[in-house]
Structure 1
Amino acid sequence: MSDLCPRFEKAMQLISKRWVGLILSELLHGKKRFSEMEADLPISGRLLSDRLKMLEKEGIVERNIYSEFPVRIEYSLTEKGEALKPVIQEIQNWSDVWITAEEVKDQAIKK
């Protein structure tokens, strides 16, 4: 029981880091190239790169390099990352029920 809180806290720190949830949600749909994610997400390339490196270090995301010309690099979820699918889906379900459009609009105005 004493290991529960530090493990839970570590998990929450990972998935609550800004943009990580959206990156994971993108990768749940399959492999993506960096440029595809950069185009699909409202995030700078530098920050996206930083988050992908962090997720790769944590063993959640895998970077695959294909020796073609030009070189093709794709990102995908590892088994550990795929295991987050029900978590991400449940957060989406919860937000669909409990987060109103007005709250989202208010949050966007504050930024």
Structure 2
Amino acid sequence: MTRTPLSDVACSIARATDLFGDAWTALIMRDVLTGIGRFDDLAHDLGISRKVLAARLSRLVEEGVLARERYQQRPPREAYVATEKGKELYSVLLALMDWGDRWYAGEAGPPARIHHRDCDRDTTPVTACRHCGGALTPDNTTQLPGPGGRVGPGTRVIGPLIASRAPEQPR
């Protein structure tokens, strides 16, 4: 089944999921960001076919999310490392993990913990306003058109979202 590309949709979520909306891609990034970067190690840890892994890694390198780094000259061997663009996906993965822990962890509890070495405590991610530090929720935020916005397929959420949540204008 062929997937419709979303790279031309005027929505950053659509554009990001065009690359990242595949479960293998998320798991590859999880592994690379936690220190598993060699092809054979990734294939073993994920239980993924080598063909699928090669295709996903190639796309992540092409998109500038991962880079190849030579770790052995003879025979030549490379590992995959996250670029700055790739490292910024960590917060996305942490948010997804936190949501999964809340809704799918089961009675045994979450399968992993996040330990913040700076304060030596286990933690969970928080999505907060950059300006005031308050939590961001669907009930206290509004999506407004941005400079790159345009009306088109995949952008319908902007109109109704603004209409239903926009603060009343003073009269």
TM-score scaled to structure 1, two decimals? Answer: 0.80
Correspondence for 1:9 among 11, 14, 20: 14
Correspondence for 1:21 among 4, 26, 41: 26
Report Cα offsets for 1:7-57 as digits up to 9, x if no partner: 220102211124000000001112511011011012100100000000111
Greater Cα offset, 92-101 or 18-27: 92-101
Instruction: For residue 64 of structure 2, give the secondary structure of its aligned residue in structure 1.
Output: coil
- Higher relative contact order (Cα pairs below 8 Å, separated by 6+ residues): 1
Correspondence for 2:47 among 32, 35, 42: 42
Question: Aligned partners of 1:99, 1:71: CA distance in 2, in Å?
Answer: 42
Richer in helix (by share): 1
In the alignment, structure 1 segments of 5+ residues that lack a partner are 102-111
Aligned partner of 2:58 in structure 1 is: 53
Backbone CA RMSD of aligned residues: 2.2
Correspondence for 1:84 among 65, 76, 89: 89
Q: Are the aligned partners of 2:9 and 2:15 in contact in 1 as well (CA < 8 Å)? A: no
Question: Aligned partners of 1:83, 1:32: CA distance in 2, in Å?
Answer: 17
Instruction: For residue 14 of structure 1, give the secondary structure of its aligned residue in structure 2.
Output: helix
After superposition, the Cα gap between the structure-2 partners of 1:15 and 1:74, relative to the gap in structure 1 and judged at 3 Å, is: same
What count of residue pairs does the alignment treat as equivalent?
A: 100
In the alignment, structure 2 segments of 5+ residues that lack a partner are 1-7, 107-171
Aligned partner of 1:107 in structure 2 is: none
Letter in 2 for 1:6: C
Please identify the structure whose Cα radius of gyration is greater: 2
Instruction: For residue 69 of structure 2, give the secondary structure of its aligned residue in structure 1.
Output: strand
Identity of aligned residues (%): 34
